[in-house]
Amino acid sequence: MIPQANHDELARQNFVKSFRNYLFGKMRNDLKLVYQETVKPQFEKENQRSPKDRYEIRREMQQQPSYKWYSSCKRITQEMMWESVITTVERQLPNLVECAKDREKPLGTLTLNPELKIPTYQTAVDIHCMPGGYNSEYTQDDVAAGAIYDLGVYVAMRNPKSLRDVRGQTVIHKFLKQQYPNFQPGKILDMGCTVGANTLPYVDAYPNAEVYGIDLAPAILRYSHARAESLGKRVHFSQQNAEKTNFPDESFDLVVSHILLHEIPVPAIRNVFRESYRLLAPGGIMIHQDARLFRHLDLYTAFIYDEETTNNNEPFWSAMRDLDLVAVAREAGFSRDSLINTLLEQSNGMQSFIIVGSK
């Protein structure tokens, strides 16, 4: 299902990848030196103290031409990334739509709900600067949003041959299999599954389980279903809001999400945790995986990552990373003793945060 770039499209996508590598390598390192050697010492001289939070750092850095240049380039590369893949998807869209149609004997299922109300927080802004956002549909049986997202992430990653399932693999093999070696869930739910990249590892890790994935976006779900089928993985996808699903109480032994929380506002996060608790069977486990919270970072790094909210169409990114997720989980019904919050080292060298609750 992954769209195939022609010569010129691939050249453009490779340029974007190289630009991003340079931006997040040399440019970001040089910017940190500007802060350490110029901005911070000057601030300390004038104020007789160090900056107290990321907001003070931003106010100072916004006066620096190097920061303005970095910030502009970061936004431009994000937009260029999507533009570079949209051409590829548009050229192949009729074929992708045809390929996505159900086979005679599909492994899994796809259930869409045209009556589902998409929350305003998902339609008011193009998340990640992806044109049209995740919930757009341009033609009958459309899969464009899923194909654009999948190919965009493919371009953004440094290991293009990967199935882009590092988050699901990390949760399974660096936490679940180690901390709960005898855990054998019968039913698994992935909330906010997008194209299902991090859903599929659960099919292999727990072959006797029924695996479900939910998302709001119909075009993305059509693509994720076709993607799973093409890879020979049985998953039941349905169009639902993770804040309130149609599954009965205590339906699942494992409820997970991967980088969902930073895409939704704080009230929605609270609803997702309450829904996770409702859906868990006795003895079940909830795991929500996302970016490291700001309390895990030094102030300068927090300032750099705050750029996602200030200049990259991630309106809820910083609010989530400021949140006390343990308190949110307790409000949802989980006891303090049942909660774990920890960092996991991913195979790509990055760290992610997980909040775990047992029922």
Beta pairing class for 252-258 and 109-111: unpaired
pLDDT in tens, 209-223: 999 999 999 999 999
Sign of CA dihedral 338, 343, 344, 346: positive
**Which are the contacts of 119, defined by CB distance < 8 A and separation ≥ 6?**
216, 241, 243, 264, 268
Tell me how many degrees the CA angle 32-38-41 measures, rounded to the nearest 5. Answer: 110
Evaluate if residue 241 carries a pLDDT over 90: yes
Beta pairing class for 236-239 and 339-345: unpaired
pLDDT band, very low/low/confident/very high, at 158 (cuts 50, 70, 90): low
Evaluate if residue 297 carries a pLDDT over 90: yes
Instruction: Report the predicted TM-score, pTM, of the whole model to 2 decimal places.
Output: 0.95
pLDDT in tens, 44-102: 999 999 999 999 999 999 999 999 999 999 999 999 999 999 999 999 999 999 999 87
